[in-house]
Structure 1
Amino acid sequence: MKIKLITPDPFNAEAWTDVLRVEPAFDVTPIVCALRDVKVIFNGSRPDLVLVETATPQDFEALEALANAHPEIDYVLVGNELSPEFLLRAMRAGVREVLPSPAAPEAVLAALRRQLRKRAPATVLPATHHAEVLALVSCKGGSGATFIAANLAHLLAAGGQRQVALIDMNLQFGDAALFVSSQTPVSNVADVARNINRLDADLLRSSMTEVAPGLWVLAAPDDPAQATDVTPQHVRQIVELAREMFDFVIIDVGRSLSSVTLQALDLADRVYAVLQLTLPFIRDGKRLRNVFRSLDYPAHKIQWIVNRYQKGSQFTIDDLKKTLAINQVITLPNHYEAVAASVNQGVPVERIAPNSTIARSLRELAENIAPPPLGQARTGWLSGLFHGAPQ
């Protein structure tokens, strides 16, 4: 891949060029100059990608003009302006990724390697392939459903041995990407919806962010107003295409029920309803159960997760089963320190506290959904995770 590197900083030019040249697929040509002052960018053959550091509004205007003139080229931007308005403007200009300034050479290398992978034709699996779609819905705000969805997706990806999509359908206030990565997505569900007539595997893949090997996130919009750009038909097209491209599709549905989120629930093979053992959660869980029944969902489609479970609570698992008229409940333990560290750092709990009770329970849940890939051993205490016989 031919790369043109443009920066006014000689130190960055040297450091970035040195680190990029460790990748055999990269052919790097540095230009030490502000983009607005560059007279000749393409001297001979055109690059596949332009990495540019912007410092002024004039630099960004020059980038917009360049991208409009050469839309066939990919652009990665390093800058200190990361407001939602700026990121949206960058995306519309054709920028594939934005890195905060100052950018470490290793971060630049990782970003360009992601672009290299995206330039490879996206793979659509054989027609016989049917990925399992799992939707997580919160019975009440603050249940921890997003934490579970993001960490479950990370575990199912198994370090790149599987391909997993995490789709954030909490369209107004979704932040699933932040639970597993500090990367800033440059595209989201609403952007895909606005380009639905061009939707194919390449467009969907390029709209997603690979936050870990095998784990691709399609983020929710930054602007809550953009939620209205997404319709149930958009959701169907996105999810059905993702089924063909990935081994698992995890959907974070959020709390609100609408025609859009109900479409996501309809498409799911399994729905995990997340609640806690307190009266408000149990009451809303009963309401949600009634919704599922009105939608004629079979009992085996719905799984109930009690998050932050502690023995000795005022309400017991048996109380919950009786109230909801269900036979099986999944419990995830309360481990505040590990979860808080994971959420605050944007790192999966499996990486930050692998021996914690919550990490072990999430591993067991993932293993119940899909056996570990060859070479990975089961954790071996599944009996403690599930309460009751299968429905």
Structure 2
Amino acid sequence: MKIAVVSPNKVHLNEIGKQLQAAGHAAVLTEGGSAMLAQVAEQDQPDLMLVEGIGCDAASFAPVEALTTRHPAIAVLLLCPGCTREFLLNAMRAGVREVLAAPVQAADLEAAVTRICGKLRGARSGPGGQVLAFIPCKGGSGATFLATSLGCQLAQSGSVLLVDLNLQFGDALSFVHDAQPASTLADVARGIKRLDASFLAACAVKVAPNFSVLAAPEDHGEAVEITAAHVEAVLALAVQHYDFVLVDIGRQVGTLAIKALDRATRIYPVMQASVPSLRNAKKLLAIFKSLDYGAGKVELVVNRFDHKDTIGVADIERALGKFTIHTVPNRYKPVTAAIDHGEPLAAASPSHPVLRQVARLADTLHAQPQPARGLFARLLRRAPAGA
């Protein structure tokens, strides 16, 4: 992996170079500030860029965001002496992978480099991106919230496109963005003959440097014009240009949904620990079995889970059979507040315990998940005491 280091501090720059060399890495060292980022990216084309000297205010992150937007394949790691929460949030919004304390310790630097290398290899391995389908077992299960939250998390380690396939009631975009989309899936369907990567990207809303959402149409008349062939064409193209393609599917398992489910690497039925949700989950799993989806393709997500609930994980396994089960804790108020404000929970409440579980789910999608040690990753993943 090619590493570039940019710092205005010559002493720190040389020390980082020595640390990387001692660990067996080769690095290109550039003395300078954030104005050098674009030039280094174009000339050296690194896989990973370590940057020191970014200011704390949002405006200071403009060169970083420009870099991650223009070169999404380059992972960016920031070095910061005494990081504030504001700094970490601005870093997340600019598409930064991790933040480490400066001056950086050799062990912390090597752990971060190893971690990012593993994630880059996982995101780039295989013939194309992964397709992840979210489908609610019952209305209000939280499938859209989890799909958008996972999209935000995965965008830290790869490019993500979320396709809202809930054509009647789809509102995935509103969970992470507060504006109306200029184009939707219906516009892609109408222009299917000229579909290419540029057209697809232009029709999607870029909510973060590595995260875009292709919204569902607002008009029902436009929705009915979308066919299974359109869905197949969009997904076939998307997996060639995005590391992760998330599909938010409504409750109807029709021809369009089946087209997405057939292509899915993993299917996540989202349920709650209640009897009605269990009943619906059982029906949904029967449909999957009839479609010849193996148990390894389906992983259950139990949302708003509380260990004090009458129905536990063991009860769910007895009722539904042996599946991989992920649980997400019940923290209703802050989640609802984030949704109402049209912003990701990671931005509204970055230390929330729900994000810890979403991060764990994201780790299962990487070939070599590593424990997070950077300040940025710890902020996102660490639950408050007593959670």
**Deviation per CA, 1:153-212, whole angstroms, max 9, x where unpaired?**
011001xx5210011000111010111111321111111111111111111111111011
1:167/1:219 contact within 8 Å kept: yes
- Tell me the equivalent position of 1:156: 154
Q: Secondary structure, in 3 states, of the residue corresponding to 1:229?
A: coil
1:248 corresponds, among 237, 244, 247, to 244
* Runs of 4+ residues deviating >4 angstroms: 125-128, 372-380
2:299/2:323 contact within 8 Å kept: no
2:215 corresponds, among 194, 219, 239, to 219
Aligned sequence identity (%): 39
Structure 1: gaps (5+ residues): 1-24, 26-105, 118-124, 385-391
- Tell me the equivalent position of 2:305: 309
**Deviation per CA, 1:242-265, whole angstroms, max 9, x where unpaired?**
000101100001211110111111
User: For the residues of structure 2 that align with 1:238 and 1:376, how far apart are their CA atoms?
Assistant: 36
1:126/1:244 contact within 8 Å kept: no
1:359 alignment partner AA: L
Normalised to the residue count of structure 1, the TM-score between the two structures is: 0.63
1:168/1:253 contact within 8 Å kept: yes
Normalised to the residue count of structure 2, the TM-score between the two structures is: 0.63
Q: Secondary structure, in 3 states, of the residue corresponding to 1:297?
A: coil
Is the aligned partner of 1:144 residue 2:114? no
CA gap of 1:182–1:229, structure 2 versus 1, over 3 A, is same
Q: State the shift of 1:341 in Å.
A: 1.7
Q: State the shift of 1:298 in Å.
A: 1.1
- Tell me the equivalent position of 1:366: 362
User: For the residues of structure 1 that align with 2:296 and 2:124, how far apart are their CA atoms?
Assistant: 27
2:267/2:297 contact within 8 Å kept: yes
1:321/1:328 contact within 8 Å kept: no
Higher RCO (C-alpha under 8 Å, 6+ residues apart): 2
- Tell me the equivalent position of 2:267: 271
Q: After TM superposition, list the pairs within 5 Å mapping 1:13-32 onto structure 2.
A: none
CA gap of 1:284–1:203, structure 2 versus 1, over 3 A, is same
Higher-Rg structure is 1
Q: After TM superposition, list the pairs within 5 Å mapping 1:332-371 onto structure 2.
A: 332-370=328-366, 371=369
Q: After TM superposition, list the pairs within 5 Å mapping 1:96-111 onto structure 2.
A: none
1:132 corresponds, among 124, 130, 133, to 130
- Tell me the equivalent position of 2:89: none
**Deviation per CA, 1:39-79, whole angstroms, max 9, x where unpaired?**
xxxxxxxxxxxxxxxxxxxxxxxxxxxxxxxxxxxxxxxxx
1:231 alignment partner AA: T
2:298/2:323 contact within 8 Å kept: no
2:357 alignment partner AA: S
2:295/2:323 contact within 8 Å kept: no
1:134/1:268 contact within 8 Å kept: yes
2:133/2:266 contact within 8 Å kept: yes
User: For the residues of structure 1 that align with 2:161 and 2:335, how far apart are their CA atoms?
Assistant: 22
2:129 alignment partner AA: A
- For this pair of structures, how many residues does the alignment match? 266
Q: After TM superposition, list the pairs within 5 Å mapping 1:1-391 onto structure 2.
A: 129-158=127-156, 161-370=157-366, 371=369
User: For the residues of structure 2 that align with 1:300 and 1:376, how far apart are their CA atoms?
Assistant: 32
Structure 2: gaps (5+ residues): 1-37, 39-58, 71-122
Q: State the shift of 1:375 in Å.
A: 8.3
What is the CA RMSD across the aligned residues, in angstroms?
3.1
Q: State the shift of 1:368 in Å.
A: 2.1
User: For the residues of structure 1 that align with 2:201 and 2:124, how far apart are their CA atoms?
Assistant: 17
Q: Secondary structure, in 3 states, of the residue corresponding to 1:226?
A: helix
Q: State the shift of 1:327 in Å.
A: 4.0
User: For the residues of structure 1 that align with 2:212 and 2:337, how far apart are their CA atoms?
Assistant: 22
1:335/1:358 contact within 8 Å kept: yes
